[in-house]
Amino acid sequence: MKPGTRILFFTTEDWYFCSHRLPIARAARDAGAQVHVVTRVTKHGEAIRAEGFVLHPLRTMRRRSSSPVREAATVAELTAIYLSVRPDLVHHVALKPVVYGSLAARLARVPAVVNALAGMGYLFTDDPEKQAAAWSRVAIRGVFRTVLRLPNAVVLFQNPDDRAVLTDAGVVALEQTAIIRGSGVDMTEFESAPEPQGVPLIIFGGRMLRQKGVGELHEAARLLRDRGVSCRVALVGDPDPDNPASISEETLRGWAESGALEYWGRRSDMPAILRDAHIACLPSYREGLPKFLLEAASCGRPIVTTDTPGCREICIDGENGFLVPLFDPKSLADRLQTLVEDESLRRRMGAAGRALVERAFSAEAVAARTMELYDRLLERGRA
């Protein structure tokens, strides 16, 4: 990468950029790039600026907005930023940034574009409660056919299942895609440690969304309690009111008061939480590649998750954890109980998970593969 190359990242929220894209932005900066970040700023603006990045607060976009006027204003604001920065490459992350950022990139004639779909989002999860929204998937595919076909662009996926959704439908050509598995994990921050003594603690980490399987985990926790299994189940994270699948704070606190599980809310000390845990659980309906499970495996904790796109990338059934069917609290409870009652199995699976992260999912490995992708696109853009 040539010194002074301008790389621009566009994500919907500043917290997401910091939690999922910071290592890649640092790698670009350390390679000599001038890094710009476009996002909605709430609490992490100073942290982004402290990295030496140029921050462009996005003032018009709201994730849940469907107002044509607001959406048009967002594209106009983005286009103005792109014309001002004149980036050599833009990296869009998630559905709205991919769509709106691609439109702005076309208008601003950006030479190289990475459209990263870090999971297929709410519309593409296999949620039986929203099958009536299937028409929206057709509409989204139609929009993608229009915006993704830029001259020097790559659609970046985190797992092959998500890529197949769009390539099989003819939305994007296979040769215009790439797979880089996950956002990477800092293995020095999320280091392996012996599990603590005491009652086994099962941790769920993530936003409190129906599509993350929080409801199924609550049901599984009730089953474990009713069976007399000695364990604790804790939910770590907070609701996301901008997401239609968000579970309310009132519901979560009601579950906690019932005694089946604990609700801890949002925490910033996940490495310490995982060191105090015995098992990590994420019964999600669909993921890109869940960072929480990467972090748990890096800490040497066995995982229980669903046999769904993204989740099965980090869980090898029977080796570093268990895969369970979707929408099946009983199977979830059964597998959790197996691990709760077998300390030696937890240790074996935890060690296997740490080795898997070291082989394929470290932050350094993911950043290196991303820099290689940037270099290919930048070279093409200069040709």
Pick the CATH number of 6-184+362-382 from 3.20.20.70, 3.40.50.2300, 3.40.50.2000, 3.10.129.10: 3.40.50.2000
The pLDDT, as a whole number, for residue 308 is 96
Can you tell me whether residue 130 is helix, strand or coil? Answer: helix
pLDDT at 330: 98
Of 12, 119, 35, 65, nearest to 244 by C-alpha is 65
pLDDT at position 69 is 87
Segments of the chain scoring below 50 in pLDDT:
122, 128-133, 135-136
CA neighbor of 38 nearest in space, from 92, 111, 99: 92
pLDDT (0 to 100) of residue 355:
97
pLDDT of 196 = 96
pLDDT tens digits for range 222-262 = 999 999 999 999 999 999 988 889 999 999 999 999 999 99
pLDDT at residue number 382: 84
Q: Going by C-beta distance under 8 Å and a sequence separation of 6 or more, which residues neighbour residue 330?
A: 220, 223
| Predicted local distance difference test score (pLDDT) of residue 250 | 97
**What's the confidence (pLDDT) of residue 121?**
52
pLDDT of residue 63: 62
Whether 118 contacts 105, CB under 8 Å: no
Q: Count of alpha carbons within 13 Å of 151, Cβ hemisphere only?
A: 13
The DSSP output letter for 378 is H
pLDDT of residue 169: 83
How far, in Å, are 140, 225, 297, 375 from residue 124 at the CA level?
Answer: 10, 33, 26, 31
- pLDDT (0 to 100) of residue 258: 94
Neighbours of 12 (CB within 10 A): 21
Backbone phi, psi, residue 285, to 5°: -80, -30
For residue 131, what pLDDT is reported?
A: 47
CATH code, residues 201-360: 3.40.50.2000
pLDDT at residue 132 in the model: 42
Asked if residues 324 and 306 have their Cβ atoms less than 8 Å apart, the reply is yes
> How is 240-297 classified by DSSP, letter by letter?
-TTSTTBPPHHHHHHHHHHTS-EEEE--S-HHHHHHH-SEEEE--S--SS-HHHHHHH
Give CATH 3.40.50.2000 domain extents, the chain: 6-184+362-382, 201-360
Q: Rounded to two decimals, what is the model's pTM?
A: 0.89
115-152 pLDDT, tens digit each: 999 776 545 555 544 444 454 456 566 677 777 778 89
